[in-house]
Chain A
Amino acid sequence: MDVVKLSRWLSDVDAGQTVAYDAGRPLSKADLESRIRKWQACFSRTDATRWAVYHSDAFEFLAILLALWTLQRIACVPGDNRPGTVESLYPCVDAFAGEFDESEVTVADSSGDFSGWPLLNIDYPALEIYTSGSSGKPAAIAKTIGQLERESLALAELLPASSEHEVILGTVSHQHFYGMTFRLFRSLAQNLPFDLTVCEYAETVISRSAHYDAVGLISSPALLARLNAALNWSQMAEKCNFVLSSAAALSAQASGQTHALLCAPVLEIYGSSETGAVAWRDQQKSAVWQAIPGVELDKTPDECLRVSAPFLPTPVVLADQVRFVAGGFDLRGRADRIVKVEGKRVSLTGIENRLLHSEWVREVKAIILERRRTEVAAVIELSDEGLSLLQTEGKKALVGRLKGYLKDYFEAVAIPRRWRFPSRLPYNPQGKLTVEDLTALFNSEPARWPDLISQTVGGLEAELRCRIPAELVYFDGHFAQHPILPGITQIHWAERFGRDLLAIEGQFLRLEVVKFQQVITPDSQVLISLSFNSDKQKLTFSYTSDKGVHSSGRICFG
């Protein structure tokens, strides 16, 4: 299938072509054209060059972009339309179009003669994407239409349309560059209609897919790592051509589950707003990242990835450190303080700077905790005002105020979920604040679970290799001089892991043939093996190590 260049799309594509669907209702290019002309009429009335653009409807958003570009204006696209975001955009733009409280712009009736669509100018910075810069201030990344269309060409090579009737579904917003590129620009270039809704839940994805003969899904780990296997995936699996994931690395487990539920390749895209798409992988085949067609990669002396591509005017150095291996590269972590929280880019420095502006904070350090999910945590040395608030109203009220204060400026996932208020930040003797010392402040909760070293789950069997931490509450008083792991704890863990990993749902009825043969001591390593017989509803467990069998038994459910 021919690839259409973005600059020629308006002039070349037939007006009857279906561009998008709203839950099965087709929207043609002619429908889009009439929206574009209305927006053109309103933009033409002013000289404003730089327009902030936010619209939750992807079709309307696209109409605004194309209308601005036919007039050689600049679309400045923020990730959200929060009051704090809008405030920070004021110095950067001349006017606001779309869903803004401040927006005075209403769509005007298009009038006057229409003399056909122009080719878009491919050389001026038509698009500016606003993301969290490392200073915490929003940073603009400019793109020309030439860059956008060259990236679409490279993506067409990587991801050719697999059928003419494919409709692109998305769970990620088009206000971010990944969603914009893969839901909108790739779709335009390859004549693939997109469904204009951002599906927030897997249930929505499944029900939308029922409207179409074939679909491709543009998604991210936030959703794919939480797919509910109990939903009816089979009808969607029959028509799903591919699943795309980006914004953060997908775990091998989530990749495998997505692949199993949707019976389609799960491609991950690695990239950034600065560079666009850089590399891809399919973990069902290899965990190594490979360059997108036309992209050339090398690294700087400090191990950071340097990207050259036909769609980049100059090479771009990213803050991700890499190691080149046979067939591609591995990611080794970030060299700056921008982190990904559940796929959203968050500047820790930005959160710190904002908190420092509040009257309650004297000094602050934000860190990332990997708990059940990735989350931001804050360690704060309070000002006198903060301290008196803590003393009079308590921690919950103080945290509530701090969260409320951040809410105007950051998306909910970026707001710290855990807070500590030590009298002084934990500087070490060298005068440094280490991540380890800061993280330790959050580990004060009593330990109740083994440290997982690795786990394998297949069908109705699971194996967990664990370290038994010495800090476990269960060692307390059991026994004073000779701590050993209580048998009841071992049964409790076996039950809990069985429920979590093997989807056991019945009530705990009784135990059979339980034997405790050797004690388990603090800091030892054990292998917990679980096997569930679903007919008999019995879970067989054992704790073993290089010392042999520690314990074994069966838990009966019903």
Chain B
Amino acid sequence: MSDLKTELKHMIIESLDLEDIEVDEIVDDEPLFVEGLGLDSIDALEIGLALQKRYGITLNSDSEETRKHFANVNALAALVESQRTK
């Protein structure tokens, strides 16, 4: 599980082209959007694409639910654990 979280942090930094942030600076339960990392709606779309590409996860059409999955690295890891197809 912790390897997966590290992998996800790498994925976030890489797919969003983030600067000045290292994997160990992303806190597992820190919010990714608005507060914390301060990501925006475009980043959310990019993360959705990266999840599909890397783990074969298709997001549910309910954006409220997607927002919960994208809340922080813990939530993302739980999503990948339960729904990955590769």
Contacts and interface: CB of A to CB of B under 8 A. Distances in A.
Interface of A: 199-201, 203-204, 206-208, 222-223, 226, 228, 230-231, 342, 371-373, 395-396, 399, 403, 407, 411-413, 415, 417-419, 445, 505
Interface in B44-62: 44-46, 48-49, 52-53, 58-62
A201 B58 contact: no
A419 B20 CA distance: 9
Contact of B66 (A201, A371, A407): A201
Contact of B52 (A228, A413, A417): A228
A373 B43 CA distance: 10
A372 B45 CA distance: 13
Contacts of A201: 44-45, 48, 59, 61, 63, 66
Contact of A373 (B17, B38, B61): B17
A223 B46 CA distance: 10
A373 B58 contact: no
Given A373-B42, A412-B39, 12 more contacts: A200-B44, A204-B61, A222-B45, A223-B45, A226-B42, A395-B20, A396-B20, A399-B20, A412-B38, A412-B40, A417-B19, A505-B53
Given A200-B41, A342-B42, A413-B42, A207 B19 contact: no
Contacts of A395: 20
A295 to B, nearest CB: 31
A393 to B, nearest CB: 13
A200 B42 contact: no
Most buried by A among B38, B42, B46, B53: B42
A413 B41 contact: yes
A156 B66 CA distance: 36
B25 A412 contact: no
B13 to A, nearest CB: 12
25 contacts: A200-B41, A200-B66, A201-B48, A201-B66, A203-B66, A204-B61, A204-B62, A208-B61, A222-B42, A223-B45, A226-B42, A228-B49, A231-B58, A373-B17, A373-B46, A396-B21, A399-B20, A407-B34, A412-B40, A413-B42, A415-B38, A417-B18, A417-B19, A419-B20, A445-B19
A445 B13 CA distance: 15
A317 to B, nearest CB: 31
Contacts of B20: 395-396, 399, 419
Nearest to B22: A396
Nearest to A222: B42
Contacts of A203: 48, 58-61, 66
Contacts of B33: 412
Contacts of B66: 200-201, 203
Contacts of A223: 45
Contacts of A207: 61
Contacts of A418: 19
